[in-house]
Structure 1
Amino acid sequence: MTTSDNGALDESVQAELERLRGSIDNIDAAVVHMLAERFKCTQQVGLLKAAHRLPPADHAREARQITRLRELAENARLDPTFAEKLLNFIIAEVIRHHETLADNSGRTPR
């Protein structure tokens, strides 16, 4: 690590660190906004499923999505196992929302 005699980071290193962290903060904000948009869409799916008495989970679609996401992750040089864990977390939350919508529509979820 490049430090001065008093132990402080070199100004150029500090500037680069701040630049990179600013980019990370921007990406985090974009991820949050994208997740919010995704959940708006899945909320509509949940309402449609509840109205037509469809089950909250669609295991065949989930499997296809996991396969698709793993391939996207590999192409993006992201650990596919990490991507799958993230998608499984999101899917679990979506199903929970769909179950709540089903309960509120008077139907018992499967």
Structure 2
Amino acid sequence: MTYSDIDETVAAELGRLRESIDNIDAAVVHMLAERFKCTQQVGRLKAAHDLPPADPAREARQIARLRRLAENARLDPAFAEKLLNFIIAEVIRHHETIAGHPEPQGGPDRP
């Protein structure tokens, strides 16, 4: 069976669900952009005060916190941890870049 062969009611429901997924994906992208704006500010603050780009204790607390949130939301905690680890790695990369080339306070925000 192909998608062109499905019942109109099924096709309409599939379209409605996919539209919701598209909206959620857009919201996730916007939330990540906001998160990275904040972490850029953290990176500049760390660079200005010669703090290391990574904070393993904070990262461990955040991972534990996110795993609990995932469990409560009935989302696989291992998936949530993988996602956060990916985000943390990107944040640390940004912080290392900022530490090598710190911007003056009040500089442009770049995700």
* TM-score of the pair, normalised by structure 1: 0.89
How does 1:1-110 map onto structure 2 within 5 Å?
Answer: 8-105=5-102
RMSD across aligned positions (CA): 1.3
Deviation by residue 1:59-89 (Cα, 9 ceiling, x = unmatched): 0000000000000000000000000000000
Flag structure 2 segments of 5+ consecutive residues without an equivalent. 103-111
Q: Residues of 2 paired with 1:103 and 1:72: CA distance?
A: 35
**Which of structures 1 and 2 has the bigger CA Rg?**
1
Flag structure 1 segments of 5+ consecutive residues without an equivalent. 106-110
C-alpha displacement of 1:8? 1.1
Q: Residues of 2 paired with 1:53 and 1:71: CA distance?
A: 32
Q: Residues of 1 paired with 2:21 and 2:98: CA distance?
A: 35
- Give the number of the structure with larger relative contact order, counting CA–CA contacts within 8 Å between residues 6 or more apart: 2
* TM-score of the pair, normalised by structure 2: 0.88
**Structure 1 segments of 4+ aligned residues over 2 angstroms from their partners:** none
Of all paired residues, the percent bearing the same amino acid is 82
